[in-house]
């Protein structure tokens, strides 16, 4: 499954790029995130609880940042294990484009889901993924904009 989109954020590219690498900001913005731990400048571990239709699972996994080109772009990829509910892996190419006083965050996300979650059907998975990514980017923008205003 692929998701392509963009989010306008009223902050500079440098501020947005720094926030994309800030474990506290990510933990607050990721729906269902219970914890994120920074292992190194390019590695994180995370625990996220997701509910898709009737299936709810706690995913524990590793996240890696690569292709770092501050403050313009990077790739974030990860893999999570959700026990009997299945596993998920994926990544996103993120590009930050100056847009007047703000930044246009463009993303291209690809996700692969295996196990019980995959059996729920692509329509349910796709609509849930779109809803969760929209929630993430809206919350992410809100966090950055409120920090920039203060």
| pLDDT at site 58 | 92
| pLDDT at site 133 | 86
pTM of the model: 0.89
| pLDDT at site 150 | 67
Q: Rounded to an integer, what distance in angstroms lies between the CA atom of residue 84 and that of residue 86? A: 5
Q: Which CATH class is domain 2-149?
A: alpha beta
Low-confidence ranges of the chain (pLDDT < 50): none
SS3 for 144?
helix
| pLDDT at site 131 | 87
* DSSP label of 4: E
* DSSP label of 78: E
Please give the structure tokens belonging to residue 130.
């779109």
Q: 108-146: buried (b, 16+ CB within 10 Å) or exposed (e) per residue?
A: ebebebebbbeebeeeebeebbeebbeebbeebbebbee
Please give the structure tokens belonging to residue 71.
């403050």
| pLDDT at site 35 | 94
pLDDT in tens, 105-131: 999 988 888 887 778 777 888 888 888
């Amino acid at each position: 499954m692929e998701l392509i989109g963009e989010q306008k954020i009223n902050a500079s590219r440098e501020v947005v790029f720094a926030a994309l690498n800030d474990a506290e900001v990510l933990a607050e913005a990721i729906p269902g995130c219970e914890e994120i731990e920074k292992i190194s400048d390019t590695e994180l571990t995370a625990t996220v609880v997701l509910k898709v239709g009737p299936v709810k699972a706690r995913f524990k996994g590793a996240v890696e940042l690569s292709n770092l080109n501050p403050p313009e772009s990077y790739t974030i990829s990860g893999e999570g294990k959700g026990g009997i509910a299945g596993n998920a892996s994926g990544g996103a190419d993120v590009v930050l484009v100056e847009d007047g006083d703000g930044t246009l965050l463009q993303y291209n996300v690809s996700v692969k889901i295996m196990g019980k979650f995959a059996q729920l059907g692509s329509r349910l998975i796709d609509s849930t993924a779109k809803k969760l990514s929209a929630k993430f980017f809206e919350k992410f923008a809100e966090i950055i904009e409120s920090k920039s205003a203060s």
